[in-house]
Amino acid sequence: MPILAILLLFVSASLHSIWNFLLKQSEEKYIAMGWQVILSGAVSIVLLFFTGLPPRSMWLFALVSGTLEAIYFLLLSYAYSDHDFSLVYPVARGSAPALLVLWSALFLRERLTTGGYFGLAMITGGMVIIGGTSLLQNHENKPHLKGIAIALTVAFVISIYTLVDGTAVKGGPPLPYALFMFTLVPLLTTPFLVRRYGWDRFAHAWSEQRVSLIMAGALGVVAYLLALFAYSFAPLSYSGAIREVSVVIGAFLGWRFLGEKMGGIRVVGAVVIFAGVMVIAFFG
């Protein structure tokens, strides 16, 4: 696994967890997500004037990925409306790598080393440990089955759009592809959200949370651009898993700033994830 790819994925993971944290802090999750998508799309349109459109061979990939990203954004904002950030984020991001390994083997013919499989298992296991503590700490003895089901659905969508994007950027330039895809997402999400919530609520959210919305939009674009550059020259199975180290940061942010519980078990999960990344770096 190239060291440059690992560094890009670590930075991408950090930025990704921060924009998810900003979303969770918003009072209106759907509307905040809607603004994040609109802003990232607006920035992407401007940048496309400088980069140009991607090759036509990448357009279908971008359309499919943009549709899946729109579904992902809507599901994620719904999940954050009713469930712990430190449950949904680790389970959603943690389950995706296991699915991505399967898709990569079936469709990209990627063959991993024994050390690579071991590292992937450690990363996935660590994420499950972090997410699972929310179940253990539920004093009402009512499992968060709905939250887990939504998180697993998000994981499935993540694994599919990562496969689509990884396939696309291995055959073409990552930057114009990503910008083109980001311009498509708000075309799908904005009409649905404005019709459901009304433009007045969008305007109110902008006046109240302008800075955090702009930050979230910028972080989302940069985070995924870095990941796509890594996908273009590194194995997708490893890359998708390493990027999900963001769950450690996400769990910490939920504990430190949102009052969500994070005990010794989650620390163990974080150590297991970090160890898994190191195994991939040296033996993958």
More confident residue, 69 or 146: 69
* Overall average pLDDT of the 149-163 stretch: 87
- Which tokens go with 213? 């919305």
Confidence at residue 90, expressed as pLDDT on a 0 to 100 scale: 65
pLDDT of residue 25 exceeding 50: yes
Q: How wide is the angle at C-alpha 16 spanned by C-alphas 13 and 19, nearest 5°?
A: 155
Alpha helix stretches (DSSP H) within the chain: 3-25, 29-51, 59-82, 85-107, 114-136, 145-169, 174-197, 199-233, 236-243, 246-258, 264-283
Q: What is the pLDDT of residues 192-227, one digit of tens each?
A: 888 888 888 888 888 888 888 888 888 888 998 999
pLDDT of residue 144 exceeding 70: no
d(C-alpha 194, C-alpha 34), whole Å: 9
Confidence at residue 141, expressed as pLDDT on a 0 to 100 scale: 46
Element (H, E) at 59: helix 59-82
Determine the 3-state secondary structure of 145 from DSSP: helix
Confidence at residue 275, expressed as pLDDT on a 0 to 100 scale: 80
d(C-alpha 218, C-alpha 214), whole Å: 6
Confidence at residue 6, expressed as pLDDT on a 0 to 100 scale: 87
Start-to-end CA distance of the chain, whole Å, equals: 6
- Residue 176 near residue 168 (C-beta atoms within 8 A): no
Q: What is the pLDDT of residues 41-85, one digit of tens each?
A: 998 999 999 999 999 999 999 999 999 988 987 787 676 666 565
Q: What is the pLDDT of residues 103-142, one digit of tens each?
A: 888 888 887 788 888 888 887 787 777 666 655 555 554 5
| Mean of per-residue pLDDT scores for the chain | 81
